[in-house]
Amino acid sequence: MGKASQKEMNGVNGATVLVRALKQQGVEYMFGIVGVPVIEIGLAAQLEGIKFISMRNEQAASYAASAMGYLTKKPAVCLVVSGPGLVHALAGMANAMENCWPLIVIGGSCDTDQDAMGGFQEYPQVDAARRYTKFSARPSSVDKIPFFVEKAVRESTYGRPGACYLDISGDMIVQQVEETTVRYLPACPPHPLIFADPKQVRDAVRLIMSAEKPLSKLSLCAGAAYAQAENEIGQLLEMIKLPFLPTPMGKGVVSDDSRLCVSAARSKALQEADVILLIGARLNWMLHFGAPPRFNSKVMIIQVDICLEEIGNNCKPAVALAGDIRAVTQQLIGEFQSQGLFKFNTNSPWWSTLKDKIDENFQNVQEMSKDGTVPLNYYAAYSEVQKALPVDCIVVNEGSNTMDIGRTMLPNLYPRHRLDAGTFGTMGVGIGFALAAAIYCRDYQPKKRVVCVEGDSAFGFSGMEVETIARYRLPVIIVIFNNNGISFGIKDEMWETAEKTGDLFLTVPPTSLQPNTRYEKVIEAFGGKGYFARTKEELQKSMESAVNDTKYPSIINVMIDPMAQRKTQEFFWLTKSKM
């Protein structure tokens, strides 16, 4: 055998080097859409045992990959083609950065010898991605690819998690190199625990013990849920009987059915608490920036966060505990234990105030849930959905009223069992999130179900991904709350009048969608089951049938009163009132 033939046998191309490096770093999943020049990467991923999920839109693929990063605490890959493919994926990268989820996007690009010449789909991808990532780069050579892969994994998971981008040119993907010249790096270990200053921990404990109206505010995905700190936080809250209020995706870190949970008295708890233990949550729009009138003007905040830059943002904390949530919570437990058997009196006036508000709100919700008027209101529909759901299912929830009301109507008893629009308030994430959650359940918790409850407008963003769900035989239950619009829709007679009186572009309100659209027919085209429900009885039967079907995905299209809104409340999640 000649020297050239021997060299060819020992050669390896850039695509193979890339996926072997990803495999070495523990990457299990790759979502995306292949085409020139990344087809070889997708094929190589499967040959190396990385599961490839072929999707219909890069935007949904990037959402799915980021959700997998949240659920597994290690990055999945979103593979995209050059130019437009990357641009579509920027949405998921921005969402991952705002939600603090690990994600690696890998984009193909035109050959290096065509740089600045106007090559096929040429675009300044590394620069474009830099605004949406923690790290964005193009490897300098094929043999250096493993170095950049390890760095991307480390950057995406260390400190505050986020997105990273690697750009691989078309010629680098197919270029052959001697395998002996490639140095694969050891798997990046979990980042080391960071503990808070012990003095600050003591100050925090003394402040909590002095409080008359204390509250623990659990975090979004960037915090307690992602940190997998449920055991430590549960022990701390139970030990000192501290009432807690979870933000939406912090639900389940401590079970919603805990007697310490005061979600049903959210407004009262935030407005009157004098000391708040803020565990990994940011004082952004979701927490009204920590400012009056949503918060007590004299509130003392103990802020726990891994990101030093976040400490003091919008509201200067009384005590700053910079470190990992699990580590800091362990420190707080130890300090409380050293103080003796301290715990708050659950019969105190503060607890009585919260319990009275919880009971009042519960009664209001119960009354609306019993209303069987057709078309249904949100609470009546949600009551039937909630009754049918397995208690341990993963809930994906998005929309406007659909998501906001779902936060109160769909309890979460386990951590990381809720996925919604999150900090960025991104619509269109639902189907991608549900797809990722279903794959995660299949591989790690095979008996667990995934239920995606979303509005009709939200479904429209990435509805064709139901084909992806059906193609991979994932028994996701999609429940569409169909109110014919965005936030609120249009009734049949109003639509008919609009059609008769003039140009639809001028007469149909911008918030409206076509009435009575039969979305459930979409899943039937791909072999799934479709259900249409107008009454509580029809919804009950549809939910029971869908839950019992563990083989095929399903869509339940539930008609909601177009004018139905949430119950009256003192303020919304948003700072400004909605229309």
pLDDT means per 10 residues in the chain (579 residues)? 48 97 98 96 98 98 98 97 97 96 97 85 94 97 97 97 97 95 94 94 97 75 78 95 91 94 93 94 90 94 93 95 96 95 91 94 92 95 97 95 93 95 92 98 96 97 97 98 92 87 89 95 98 98 97 97 68 43
pLDDT of residue 495: 87
Pairing between β-strand 275-279 and β-strand 300-305 as defined by DSSP bridges: parallel
Query: Which of 398, 399, 438, 395 is CA-nearest to residue 414?
Result: 395
Which amino acid, residue 424?
F
CB-based contact 481:543 (threshold 8 Å): no
Residue 285: is it exposed, middle or buried by C-beta count within 10 angstroms (0-12/13-18/19+)? middle
pLDDT of residue 9: 53
Question: pLDDT, tens digit, for every residue of 374-405?
Answer: 999 999 999 999 999 999 999 999 998 999 99
End-to-end CA distance of the chain: 77
Q: Strand runs (DSSP E) across 260-311, as ranges?
A: 275-279, 300-305
Phi, psi (rounded to 5 degrees) for 254:
-120, 135
The 8-class DSSP code of residue 75 comes to -
pLDDT of residue 217: 64
Q: What is the pTM of this model?
A: 0.93
Bond preceding residue 509 cis, omega within 30 of 0: no
What is the rounded distance in angstroms from the CA atom of residue 89 to the CA atom of residue 79?
9
What is the rounded distance in angstroms from the CA atom of residue 324 to the CA atom of residue 308?
11
pLDDT of residue 570: 38
Cα of 272 vs its chain's centroid, Å: 30
Opening angle at CA 555, ends 554 and 561, nearest 5: 155
CB-based contact 66:96 (threshold 8 Å): yes
Question: pLDDT, tens digit, for every residue of 27-59?
Answer: 999 999 999 999 999 999 999 999 999 999 999
What is the rounded distance in angstroms from the CA atom of residue 96 to the CA atom of residue 401?
23
